[in-house]
Amino acid sequence: MVNHRGSQFANLIKKASEQLKAFFQTQNQVMILSSSGTGGLEAAVVNTLSPGDKVLAVSIGSFGDRFGSIAETCGAEVVPLAYEWGQAADPADVCQALAQDPAIKAVLVTHNETSTGITNPLEEIAKVVREADRLILVDGVSSLGAIPLDTDGWGLDVVVTGSQKGWMVPPGLAFVTVSERGWKANESAKMPRFYFDLARHRDMISNGQTPWTPTVSIFFGLDVALDRMAEEGLERIFARHARLSQMVRDGVKALGLELYAADERFASATVTAVKCPEEIKVAALRSLLEKEYDVILAGGQGKLSDKIFRIGHLGLVEEDDISHALTALEGALTQLGYTVPAQR
């Protein structure tokens, strides 16, 4: 390790936070917290709201539910706007909910719902939130750095992501940015905060420090990853994720499988959820893939645990990885008694 109050660390964190601005597409400061993504989401809530504030919690899956729970736990009055899993949120519903209740101060929304493999139309949702002049707090944990997200252009107030997703580094860091409107709200926000007090983080990062001891080792990986991402460039990163996700969707459909997404237009470019054939147990499929093919797929979460499996394709992935995963999937399914359709 290096001294986290020394110049080497100061250079690392200053460089990373500057580079992150380009990926967040913001001119504002990006804070780096030593926590997983959930800590970043808690920071978004407690730094902009006061106990009793009303928030609209848009949820299309388990991470949307979690964002709402964080707000509720921290004392907000949560108005849920929940959708059937597999669907995306409709900006018209958000518009209507805000028009009906002028007391709603902020909207919580997940950009990419990892549990269901759906990407919300965030730009359109942000537009109606801006028009209604409320705050919009965004969970970009599994989207940022892989799927277009224009923080300043779309007028997002707090955006959060986590190091283990598109950033290709180990878990342990959350990146958070706050708009001018967000900082204004911060001045009167009364929810208790200490470790996640973003104003303290903002004030120290320009000197290359964090208020508390950071997870120093992860910064070394982040430095390499951000250089690599800068070299590839934002547009090419987005295009690669779009291309690979299409390859996954085409591949699973060719195996006769059905996507979980109700409308493929909203299918995620970072994770694909697939309905598991009824005769096959998700756990058996995953275990066979891991043991014999060296491929790790995720299962479903909560009520989807034995209904879907998920293929992650974000960060360090290329065509070869997807081809290998699809071939392995075909092999494992066949071993488990599934018949792949002849017409392909």
Binding site for ligand PLP (CB under 6 A): 36-38, 63, 110, 112, 114, 139, 141-142, 162, 171
Measured from the CB atom, the residue of 114 and 245 that comes closer to ligand PLP is: 114
Q: Compare residues 248 and 288 and give the one whose CB is closer to ligand PLP.
A: 248
Shortest reach from residue 297's CB to ligand PLP, in Å: 15
Distance between CA atoms of 231 and 51, rounded to whole angstroms?
44
| SS3 of residue 269 by DSSP | coil
**Cβ at position 39, least distance to ligand PLP in Å:** 7
Other residues' Cβ atoms within 10 Å of the Cβ of residue 232: 12
What's the token pair of residue 31? 């804070």
CA distance 53 to 70: 13
Closest contact distance (angstroms) between CB of 106 and ligand PLP is: 17
The residues near 230 (Cβ < 8 Å, ≥ 6 apart) are: 19, 22
- Select 125 or 332, whichever has its Cβ closest to ligand PLP: 125
Of residues 53 and 139, the one with the C-beta less far from ligand PLP: 139
* Of residues 115 and 209, the one with the C-beta less far from ligand PLP: 115
Bridge partners for 299 per DSSP = 309
In what order do the strands lie in the sheet containing 77-82? 30-33, 174-178, 158-162, 135-139, 104-110, 54-59, 77-82
The minimum distance between CB 8 and ligand PLP, in angstroms, equals: 27
CB of 160 to ligand PLP, least distance (A): 8
Of 32, 72, 257, which Cα lies nearest the Cα of 162?
32
Residues sharing a CB contact under 8 Å with residue 269, sequence separation 6 or more, in sequence order: 119, 146, 147, 238, 241, 242, 244, 245, 313, 314
CB nearer to ligand PLP: pick between 40 and 251: 40
Shortest reach from residue 36's CB to ligand PLP, in Å = 3
| Closest CB to ligand PLP: residue number | 37
Hey, what are 298's tokens? 């995720």
